[in-house]
Amino acid sequence: MTSFWTSALFWNAVAGATAAALTAGAAGFFLSLRALAFTGEALTDIGFAGASGAALAGVNPLAGMAGFSLLAVLGLGSLNDRLKGRDIETGMVLSLALGLGVLFLNLSTQSGASHASWGLGLLFGSLASITTGSVILAGVFCAVSLTVLAVLFRPLLFASLDPILAQSRGVPVKALALGFLLILALAASVTLMVVGALLTSALLIAPATAALNFFRRPYQALAASLMFAVGIAWVGLAAAFFIPVGHIPASFFMAILSALLYFVSLPARSQRRRDTCGCQHSREVTPKE
């Protein structure tokens, strides 16, 4: 047991999951406010293509993911001023990215560069195989994302809640949108490394959405989002390490916990809806009230 607690494997998993949870909790807060869930999904799929491409080229997968999704954001951001709302376009990009990822995986297993089960790690996360290099890179991504979001917190919040008013007050709304997408690309990559491309919403969407359902004040909601994300990551890790039946991956527990948290937070949301005066959600208020 002592060797387990001092093993690099375990501490890499803890450090990687914590970095991912902090980044995802913070980025997810703005993602929920800006209703960019589908864009986040597309970015993780682009990251999946980047990671499988990186495996083929022999590059660090996290670097591949981040490189691919940052390039994609710059390319798409310059084409459309906002990715939001263009569901079909996002869907086409998402499809292409998934197709490329599947092709790269197929090529790398055919060439013997990796085993097919490695692809499973990309799709569903593989905490047991996080290298020290990836943990350091994840730490850097986490530090950069949190610093940028902290510095830009107030203008970004303003631009997310009321873009038109923010623009009229001289807030550079477009630049902020692009900047946030770049941070989101980093967050999606780190999250993908921990829970896999198919389960990223467990850390990226569920904690922040639940936090916004429970708390109305932005700072409280942000703090709750970070705590939920880190809590899900740690409890998931602990469950995977301590539940002896089979070899159930940590991402399974994280995904189930996040879904539970989300559905538990729904009554709080409708309760809050009823409490608000109806200025923001006026169309939700029925005439009786």
Partner 1 sequence: MSIFHFEFMQNAFLAATLVAALGGVTGFFLIQRGMTFAGHALPGIGFAGAAGAVWLGFSPLAGLVVFTLAGAGGIAKLKGDPRERDLHIGMILVTALALGLLFLSLYPGFAEPAYAILFGSLLGISKGETQVMAIGSLFIGLFFVFAFRPLLFASFDPQAAGARGVPTRALGAAFLVVTALVVALCAPITGTLLVFTLLVAPSAIATRLTASPLKAVLLSVVLAEGLVWTALTLAYFWNSVPGFFVAALAFLVYLAVRLFQAYEHRRVK
Cβ-count burial 85-117 (b if 16+ within 10 Å, e if not): ebeeebeebbeebbebbeebbeebbeeeebeee
What is 9-31 written as a DSSP string? HHHHHHHHHHHHHHHHHHHHHHH
User: Closest by alpha carbon to 233, among 14, 8, 48?
Assistant: 14
Residue with smaller CB distance to partner 1, 67 or 236: 236
Distance spanning both ends of the chain, measured CA to CA: 60
Nearer to partner 1, 36 or 148 (CB): 36
Q: In angstroms, what is the minimal distance from the CB of 172 to partner 1?
A: 26
Minimum CB–partner distance for residue 175 and partner 1 (Å): 25
Shortest Cβ distance from residue 151 to partner 1 (Å)?
A: 29
Per DSSP, 129 falls in state: G
* Interacting residues with partner 1 (CB under 8 A): 35, 37-38, 41, 87-88, 91-96, 98-103, 105-107, 110, 116-117, 119-120, 123-124, 198-199, 201-202, 205-206, 209, 246-249, 251-252, 255-256, 258-259, 262-263
Residues 182, 159: Cα–Cα separation, whole Å: 16
Q: What are phi and psi of 283, to 5 degrees?
A: -75, -15
C-beta of 75 vs 133, nearer to partner 1? 75
Q: Which tokens is 287 given?
A: 């005439």
Q: Which is nearer to partner 1, 99 or 172 (CB)?
A: 99
Nearer to partner 1, 37 or 223 (CB): 37
CB of residue 262 to partner 1, shortest distance in Å: 5
Which CB sits closer to partner 1, 100 or 194? 100
Nearest-approach distance from CB 248 to partner 1, in angstroms: 5
Q: Tell me if 24 sits within 8 A of 229, measured CB to CB.
A: yes
What is the nearest approach in angstroms of partner 1 to the Cβ of residue 41?
Answer: 8
